[in-house]
Amino acid sequence: MARRLSFAIAQPITIVGWFISSILLVALVIAAVYGLTLPGQDRALTQAFYYAIIASGIYFLIAALMCVTVYGAYKGHYKQEFKLTMSQRTLMLQTISFMVYMLAGAAVYHRVEGWRFLDSVYFTNFTLLTVGIGSLAPKTHTGRALLFPFAVGGIVILGLVIGSIRSLVLERGKKKLGSRMVERKRVQLLKKMHKKNQHEKLTPIDGKEQANDLGMTERERRRSEFELMRQIQNNATQRQKWNALFVSGSAWLVLWLVGAVVFWKAEHQQEWSYFQALYFAYTSLLTIGYGDFTNFSNAGKPAFVFWSLLAVPTLTIVISNMGDTVVKSVRDLTDYLGEFTVLPGESPTKQRAKQLLKDFTNPFRGKQGQKDSADQLSGMDKPPGTLSERKDGSRQDIPEYEAMTRATDRVAGEVEKEELHAASNAGKHGDEVSKDVHEYHYQLIREFRNVMKHLNENPPRQYT
């Protein structure tokens, strides 16, 4: 992070270090199994042995992923430098804080309750993840009293970590996938329009004769083309949300099924069936934690700690994605049922039935539905964010939009002050380049505010 070494030097050194760490751990594990001869026949591998196996696998995976990064940088897919953004730094610090907090709590309960340290790690893990299995619980008044602040603090840190993961990983992925999906939708629409011989409506209109033939002016054509693109973006956004739900839901399903297999094999001494392991993994994954099935083996506890740190945040992301898709569909269905029963709308029943059928035959069309691509060019519903207009060209009063405009204006004013302050500081330090940049930002934001004021006038000011 200090950039004292170049990417070409630092990255190979780091990769070799991770590979060496993985190989050394694997060697220790093999030596513990086959190289030690202890008196007696009854012996058991401790939890530390299984933690070593998990750690060696993680080290090898990190080294392999860094090799992929080097290959991508060599091919030009990534820059040959490593600069952490603020969101990445935040996620790293929050993750480290959570692990330190969990291990420190385990050390305290190891001292207070007299448990083995790795048993205390198992306890702090299912406590902070709100699973509450119940196989371990504080017996002393000191341990129970410490649980009050310990649980609250850990849950808060865990929430911050999950929020950072979602905003960093998913939001970046949404931007890339969203642009690709919009382009794919645009190409599909163009193909349909070419098949229906509607492509001439996408070309500029030159002269009154062509305008009369098409039945629209150049301004109307541009407006319909813009609205069509907004509709394409809206449909792509809806499909993207469903794709995100499918990916996160698939990851959750894999963690559930694979975790059940691991617990089934690890707890063979308890003679669990696969269905019982599936039941245990499900109740733990949903943070229900009845406690009727628990891990007692030295292999099951480390596996549960590692598995739960992956599964519970994944579940949270799935629930968040459901809020944008499934929950919205249920809410829309409730509204439709209300229109047909206790809260009928003003439109005729036949028209509402047609709209209901059209919306639910394709969930990606949105609540307003979607017309045929050729019909959208001639006259389509206004996309989200477009202000309705009266016949005289004046804009209707929309309280929500006015509130948003005032808030935007206040934020822009604060940004102007910050840019002026930054320009002043740069001038005091003799940095003329930074001073010019901040002054340019100030002028640009000021002009944007003026344009927004003109557009919000009634009727809005027209520009040539």
Q: How far apart are CA 222 and CA 211, in angstroms?
A: 12
Q: Give Cα separations from 371 to 179, 235, 335 (angstroms).
A: 22, 12, 22
Based on DSSP, count helices (H) and strands (E) in the chain, helices before strands.
15, 0
Q: How far apart are CA 387 and CA 95, in angstroms?
A: 44
Name every residue whose Cβ is closer than 8 Å to that of residue 294 and which is 6 or more positions away in sequence: 133, 134, 135, 280
Question: Are residues 340 and 349 in contact, defined by beta-carbon separation less than 8 angstroms?
Answer: yes
> In sequence order, what DSSP letters do the residues of 318-330 get, joined into one string?
HHHHHHHTHHHHH
Can you give the pLDDT of all 464 residues of the chain as single tens digits?
A: 455 677 778 888 999 999 999 999 999 988 888 776 666 556 678 899 999 999 999 999 999 999 998 888 888 777 767 677 787 888 899 999 999 999 999 999 999 999 999 999 999 999 999 898 888 999 999 999 999 999 999 999 988 988 888 777 666 655 655 566 666 666 776 677 667 666 555 666 555 665 566 666 666 767 776 777 777 777 777 777 888 888 889 999 999 999 999 999 999 889 999 999 999 999 998 888 888 899 999 999 999 999 999 988 888 888 888 877 888 778 877 877 776 676 666 666 667 667 666 665 555 444 444 444 334 434 334 444 444 444 444 444 445 556 666 667 777 777 888 888 888 888 888 887 788 888 888 888 888 778 777 777 766 666 66
Question: Are residues 300 and 119 in contact, defined by beta-carbon separation less than 8 angstroms?
Answer: no
Burial of 38 (0-12, 13-18, 19+ CB in 10 A): exposed
Largest CA distance in the chain: 102
- Only one residue has tokens 């306890």, namely 123
C-beta pairs of 63-69 under 8 Å, 24+ apart in sequence: 63/15, 63/18, 63/19, 63/22, 66/11, 66/14, 66/15, 66/18, 67/15, 69/11
Query: First and final CA of the chain: distance in angstroms?
Result: 51
Comparing CA positions, the residue from 23, 30, 89 lying closest to residue 59 is 23
- Only one residue has tokens 């190989």, namely 23
Comparing CA positions, the residue from 178, 221, 182 lying closest to residue 198 is 221
Entry pTM: 0.66
